[in-house]
Structure 1
Protein backbone atom coordinates (compact mmCIF):
# COMPACT_ATOMS: atom_id res chain seq x y z
CA UNK A 1 0.00 0.00 0.00
CA UNK A 2 1.25 3.49 -0.84
CA UNK A 3 -0.50 6.02 1.40
CA UNK A 4 0.28 9.63 2.19
CA UNK A 5 -1.32 12.07 4.58
CA UNK A 6 -3.36 14.44 2.45
CA UNK A 7 -5.24 16.47 5.06
CA UNK A 8 -5.91 16.58 8.76
CA UNK A 9 -8.75 18.49 10.41
CA UNK A 10 -8.55 20.88 13.34
CA UNK A 11 -11.53 22.74 14.76
CA UNK A 12 -11.72 26.51 14.86
CA UNK A 13 -14.20 28.93 16.38
CA UNK A 14 -12.80 32.16 14.92
CA UNK A 15 -11.73 31.99 11.26
CA UNK A 16 -9.93 35.36 11.24
CA UNK A 17 -7.87 34.52 14.32
CA UNK A 18 -7.06 31.09 12.86
CA UNK A 19 -5.96 32.67 9.58
CA UNK A 20 -3.74 35.14 11.43
CA UNK A 21 -2.09 32.29 13.35
CA UNK A 22 -1.62 29.70 10.61
CA UNK A 23 -0.87 32.12 7.77
CA UNK A 24 0.87 35.04 9.46
CA UNK A 25 2.61 33.38 12.43
CA UNK A 26 3.34 29.87 11.12
CA UNK A 27 3.80 30.98 7.51
CA UNK A 28 1.40 28.46 5.97
CA UNK A 29 -0.25 29.28 2.66
CA UNK A 30 -4.02 29.49 2.38
CA UNK A 31 -5.18 26.95 -0.17
CA UNK A 32 -8.93 27.26 0.20
CA UNK A 33 -11.38 29.37 2.18
CA UNK A 34 -15.05 28.52 1.70
CA UNK A 35 -18.19 29.47 3.59
CA UNK A 36 -18.98 32.67 5.37
CA UNK A 37 -18.94 34.19 8.83
CA UNK A 38 -17.86 31.64 11.43
CA UNK A 39 -18.95 28.79 9.16
CA UNK A 40 -15.76 28.70 7.08
CA UNK A 41 -13.59 25.78 6.09
CA UNK A 42 -10.03 27.04 5.66
CA UNK A 43 -7.35 24.84 4.16
CA UNK A 44 -3.73 25.77 4.93
CA UNK A 45 -0.38 24.08 4.53
CA UNK A 46 3.36 24.52 4.25
CA UNK A 47 4.26 26.20 0.94
CA UNK A 48 6.88 23.54 0.13
CA UNK A 49 4.47 20.63 0.83
CA UNK A 50 1.55 21.09 -1.55
CA UNK A 51 0.20 17.60 -0.91
CA UNK A 52 -0.21 18.00 2.87
CA UNK A 53 -2.88 20.26 4.33
CA UNK A 54 -4.68 21.18 7.52
CA UNK A 55 -8.40 21.90 7.20
CA UNK A 56 -9.63 24.30 9.87
CA UNK A 57 -13.30 23.53 10.26
CA UNK A 58 -16.15 24.82 12.42
CA UNK A 59 -17.28 21.97 14.71
CA UNK A 60 -20.73 23.55 15.01
CA UNK A 61 -21.37 22.72 11.34
CA UNK A 62 -21.30 18.95 11.83
CA UNK A 63 -24.91 17.78 11.42
CA UNK A 64 -24.15 14.37 12.96
CA UNK A 65 -23.62 15.61 16.52
CA UNK A 66 -26.03 16.62 19.24
CA UNK A 67 -26.19 19.95 21.07
CA UNK A 68 -24.68 18.23 24.13
CA UNK A 69 -21.79 16.97 21.99
CA UNK A 70 -21.28 20.48 20.56
CA UNK A 71 -21.09 21.88 24.09
CA UNK A 72 -18.60 19.20 25.09
CA UNK A 73 -16.45 19.95 22.05
CA UNK A 74 -16.56 23.69 22.82
CA UNK A 75 -15.54 23.01 26.44
CA UNK A 76 -12.68 20.73 25.37
CA UNK A 77 -11.50 23.28 22.80
CA UNK A 78 -11.49 26.00 25.48
CA UNK A 79 -9.32 23.76 27.70
CA UNK A 80 -7.06 22.79 24.80
CA UNK A 81 -7.85 19.09 25.14
CA UNK A 82 -9.86 18.40 21.98
CA UNK A 83 -7.23 18.36 19.22
CA UNK A 84 -3.47 18.36 18.82
CA UNK A 85 -1.01 18.80 15.97
CA UNK A 86 2.67 17.87 15.86
CA UNK A 87 4.89 19.95 13.57
CA UNK A 88 8.63 19.74 12.91
CA UNK A 89 11.32 22.32 12.22
CA UNK A 90 15.10 22.23 11.81
CA UNK A 91 15.46 25.41 13.95
CA UNK A 92 13.25 25.29 17.03
CA UNK A 93 14.68 28.45 18.60
CA UNK A 94 13.96 30.61 15.54
CA UNK A 95 10.49 29.10 15.21
CA UNK A 96 9.78 29.76 18.88
CA UNK A 97 10.92 33.37 18.54
CA UNK A 98 8.50 33.82 15.64
CA UNK A 99 5.70 32.29 17.73
CA UNK A 100 6.45 34.63 20.62
CA UNK A 101 6.57 37.65 18.28
CA UNK A 102 3.14 36.57 16.97
CA UNK A 103 1.74 36.52 20.52
CA UNK A 104 1.14 32.76 20.46
CA UNK A 105 -0.23 31.27 23.67
CA UNK A 106 2.94 29.56 24.92
CA UNK A 107 2.38 26.31 26.82
CA UNK A 108 6.01 25.18 26.99
CA UNK A 109 9.23 26.89 25.95
CA UNK A 110 11.83 24.87 24.00
CA UNK A 111 12.79 21.93 26.19
CA UNK A 112 14.99 18.86 25.91
CA UNK A 113 12.53 16.08 26.67
CA UNK A 114 13.59 12.93 28.56
CA UNK A 115 12.30 10.83 25.64
CA UNK A 116 14.95 12.24 23.30
CA UNK A 117 13.38 15.16 21.42
CA UNK A 118 13.64 18.90 21.82
CA UNK A 119 10.30 20.64 21.43
CA UNK A 120 7.96 23.42 22.50
CA UNK A 121 4.20 23.79 22.72
CA UNK A 122 1.69 26.54 21.99
CA UNK A 123 -2.06 26.77 21.57
CA UNK A 124 -3.70 28.09 18.44
CA UNK A 125 -6.57 30.61 18.77
CA UNK A 126 -9.13 27.77 19.12
CA UNK A 127 -7.14 26.16 21.94
CA UNK A 128 -5.69 23.30 19.87
CA UNK A 129 -2.34 22.17 21.23
CA UNK A 130 0.49 22.60 18.72
CA UNK A 131 3.75 20.85 19.59
CA UNK A 132 6.80 21.60 17.48
CA UNK A 133 9.78 19.26 17.48
CA UNK A 134 13.26 20.07 16.32
CA UNK A 135 14.22 17.65 13.54
CA UNK A 136 17.62 17.94 11.94
Structure 2
Protein backbone atom coordinates (compact mmCIF):
# COMPACT_ATOMS: atom_id res chain seq x y z
CA UNK A 1 0.00 0.00 0.00
CA UNK A 2 1.20 3.53 -0.73
CA UNK A 3 -0.23 7.02 -0.64
CA UNK A 4 -1.51 7.97 -4.10
CA UNK A 5 -3.32 11.23 -3.33
CA UNK A 6 -3.58 13.64 -0.44
CA UNK A 7 -5.16 17.07 -0.27
CA UNK A 8 -5.09 20.52 1.23
CA UNK A 9 -8.19 22.67 1.41
CA UNK A 10 -7.67 25.94 -0.46
CA UNK A 11 -9.69 29.16 -0.46
CA UNK A 12 -9.08 29.82 -4.17
CA UNK A 13 -8.01 27.06 -6.55
CA UNK A 14 -6.46 29.40 -9.13
CA UNK A 15 -4.44 31.28 -6.51
CA UNK A 16 -3.40 27.97 -4.97
CA UNK A 17 -2.29 26.63 -8.34
CA UNK A 18 -0.13 29.73 -8.90
CA UNK A 19 1.41 29.46 -5.44
CA UNK A 20 2.10 25.74 -5.56
CA UNK A 21 3.56 25.88 -9.07
CA UNK A 22 5.18 29.33 -9.34
CA UNK A 23 6.51 29.54 -5.77
CA UNK A 24 6.95 25.98 -4.57
CA UNK A 25 7.84 24.47 -7.94
CA UNK A 26 5.25 21.73 -8.26
CA UNK A 27 3.77 20.93 -11.69
CA UNK A 28 0.13 20.47 -12.65
CA UNK A 29 -0.86 16.82 -13.04
CA UNK A 30 -4.65 17.07 -13.51
CA UNK A 31 -6.88 20.08 -14.13
CA UNK A 32 -10.39 18.86 -14.84
CA UNK A 33 -13.45 21.17 -14.67
CA UNK A 34 -16.09 19.90 -12.24
CA UNK A 35 -18.88 22.46 -12.22
CA UNK A 36 -17.78 25.57 -10.37
CA UNK A 37 -14.62 23.83 -9.12
CA UNK A 38 -11.87 21.67 -10.60
CA UNK A 39 -10.17 18.36 -9.93
CA UNK A 40 -6.80 20.07 -9.61
CA UNK A 41 -3.69 18.15 -8.60
CA UNK A 42 0.01 18.96 -8.55
CA UNK A 43 3.06 16.72 -8.24
CA UNK A 44 6.76 17.08 -7.70
CA UNK A 45 8.67 17.51 -10.96
CA UNK A 46 11.17 15.07 -9.43
CA UNK A 47 8.47 12.37 -9.21
CA UNK A 48 5.73 13.11 -11.79
CA UNK A 49 4.11 9.71 -11.22
CA UNK A 50 4.33 10.01 -7.43
CA UNK A 51 1.91 11.23 -4.81
CA UNK A 52 -0.51 13.87 -6.05
CA UNK A 53 -1.59 16.86 -3.97
CA UNK A 54 -5.24 17.77 -4.57
CA UNK A 55 -5.94 21.49 -4.22
CA UNK A 56 -9.36 20.86 -2.72
CA UNK A 57 -11.95 23.68 -2.62
CA UNK A 58 -12.82 24.82 0.92
CA UNK A 59 -16.56 24.89 0.29
CA UNK A 60 -17.75 22.41 2.94
CA UNK A 61 -18.99 24.22 6.10
CA UNK A 62 -16.65 22.21 8.36
CA UNK A 63 -13.53 23.30 6.49
CA UNK A 64 -13.29 26.96 7.59
CA UNK A 65 -13.32 26.24 11.35
CA UNK A 66 -10.91 23.33 10.84
CA UNK A 67 -8.42 25.41 8.86
CA UNK A 68 -8.73 28.39 11.22
CA UNK A 69 -8.02 26.15 14.24
CA UNK A 70 -4.96 24.61 12.61
CA UNK A 71 -3.51 28.00 11.66
CA UNK A 72 -4.33 29.52 15.06
CA UNK A 73 -2.49 26.64 16.77
CA UNK A 74 0.41 26.74 14.28
CA UNK A 75 -0.27 23.23 12.96
CA UNK A 76 0.79 22.58 9.34
CA UNK A 77 -1.79 21.03 7.03
CA UNK A 78 0.95 19.17 5.13
CA UNK A 79 4.68 18.52 5.23
CA UNK A 80 6.97 18.54 2.20
CA UNK A 81 10.47 17.06 2.15
CA UNK A 82 13.31 19.21 0.85
CA UNK A 83 17.05 18.56 0.64
CA UNK A 84 18.11 21.75 2.43
CA UNK A 85 15.58 23.60 4.61
CA UNK A 86 17.68 26.78 5.14
CA UNK A 87 18.40 27.08 1.40
CA UNK A 88 14.72 26.55 0.51
CA UNK A 89 13.74 29.05 3.20
CA UNK A 90 16.07 31.66 1.68
CA UNK A 91 14.86 30.93 -1.87
CA UNK A 92 11.19 31.20 -0.94
CA UNK A 93 11.69 34.29 1.23
CA UNK A 94 13.35 35.87 -1.80
CA UNK A 95 10.13 35.19 -3.74
CA UNK A 96 8.06 36.87 -1.03
CA UNK A 97 6.76 33.77 0.76
CA UNK A 98 5.84 34.45 4.39
CA UNK A 99 7.10 32.02 7.00
CA UNK A 100 5.58 31.52 10.44
CA UNK A 101 8.59 29.48 11.59
CA UNK A 102 12.17 30.03 10.50
CA UNK A 103 14.39 26.96 10.04
CA UNK A 104 14.63 25.06 13.30
CA UNK A 105 16.76 21.99 13.95
CA UNK A 106 15.68 19.45 16.56
CA UNK A 107 17.94 16.43 16.60
CA UNK A 108 18.14 14.96 13.10
CA UNK A 109 15.19 16.99 11.74
CA UNK A 110 15.16 20.55 10.38
CA UNK A 111 11.83 22.23 9.71
CA UNK A 112 10.38 25.58 8.64
CA UNK A 113 6.71 26.54 8.27
CA UNK A 114 5.25 28.76 5.55
CA UNK A 115 1.88 30.33 4.81
CA UNK A 116 0.56 29.06 1.48
CA UNK A 117 -1.64 32.19 1.00
CA UNK A 118 -4.67 29.89 0.65
CA UNK A 119 -5.46 29.34 4.31
CA UNK A 120 -2.86 26.72 5.25
CA UNK A 121 0.45 26.40 6.99
CA UNK A 122 2.87 24.07 5.20
CA UNK A 123 5.93 22.53 6.82
CA UNK A 124 9.18 22.04 4.96
CA UNK A 125 11.36 19.34 6.49
CA UNK A 126 14.59 17.44 6.10
CA UNK A 127 15.68 14.47 8.16
CA UNK A 128 19.39 13.68 8.30
Q: CA deviation at 1:16?
A: 2.1
For 1:51-66, what aligned pairs fall within 5 Å after superposition?
51-60=50-59
Which one of 11, 14, 21 corresponds to residue 13 of structure 1?
11
Is residue 78–residue 126 contact of structure 1 (8 Å, CA) maintained in 2?
A: no
Counterpart of 2:100 in structure 1 is 107
Q: CA deviation at 1:76?
A: 3.4
Counterpart of 2:87 in structure 1 is 94
Is residue 10–residue 83 contact of structure 1 (8 Å, CA) maintained in 2?
A: no
- Structure 1 unpaired stretches of 5+: 63-69
Gap change, CA 1:38 and 1:135, over 3 Å in 2 = farther
Matched, 1:132 2:124: yes
Whichever of the two has the greater Rg, that structure is 1
Which one of 24, 29, 32 corresponds to residue 31 of structure 1?
29
Q: CA deviation at 1:37?
A: 8.6
| TM-score, normalising length: structure 2 | 0.82
Gap change, CA 1:32 and 1:86, over 3 Å in 2 = same
Counterpart of 1:67 in structure 2 is none
- Structure 2 unpaired stretches of 5+: none
Secondary structure at 1:122 match in 2: strand
